[in-house]
């Protein structure tokens, strides 16, 4: 069975996304959007090469878009997908990832 895990920063990102979404669009939409993230994480665990390489940013990193965000991850030991960050598409992702 394939698996995934979220880094501390990815968990922080997800919490921030949930808070922003709830303030902007309400609890119901927050729940829908966060559930879709969970589904995306499980999909990545099943098909880890579905994202594209982000080697130009950091060795071993891959990315896949999700709504207004980009999920950055790497494939770790035992093919476990390690979710590194979840960043809004308008952010300077390079600077955020290089500090990770």
The predicted-structure confidence for 56-81, as pLDDT tens digits, reads as follows: 988 999 999 999 999 999 999 888 99
Q: Is 34 exposed, middle or buried (0-12, 13-18, 19+ CB in 10 A)?
A: middle
Q: Is the model's pLDDT at 1 over the cut of 70? A: no
**pTM of structure:** 0.90
pLDDT in tens, 17-62: 999 999 999 999 999 999 999 999 999 999 999 999 999 988 999 9
Give the pLDDT score at 100. Answer: 62
**30: helix, strand or coil:** helix
Q: What residues have CB less than 8 Å from 67, skipping those under 6 apart?
A: 33, 36
Sign of CA dihedral 100, 68, 48, 31: positive
> Could you give the domains of the chain?
4-98 (3.30.2310.20)
State residue 95's pLDDT score. 73
Residue with tokens 């394939």: 2
Element containing residue 84 per DSSP (H, E): strand 81-88
């Amino acid at each position: 069975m394939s698996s995934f895990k979220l880094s501390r920063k990815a968990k922080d990102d997800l919490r921030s996304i949930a808070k922003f979404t709830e303030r902007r669009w309400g609890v119901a939409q927050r729940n829908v959007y966060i559930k879709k993230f969970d589904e995306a994480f499980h999909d990545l665990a099943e098909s880890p090469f579905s994202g594209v390489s982000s080697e130009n940013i950091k060795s071993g990193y891959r990315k896949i878009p999700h709504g207004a965000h980009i999920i950055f991850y790497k494939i770790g030991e035992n093919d476990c997908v390690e979710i590194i960050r979840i960043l809004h598409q308008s952010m300077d992702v390079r600077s955020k990832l290089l500090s990770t």
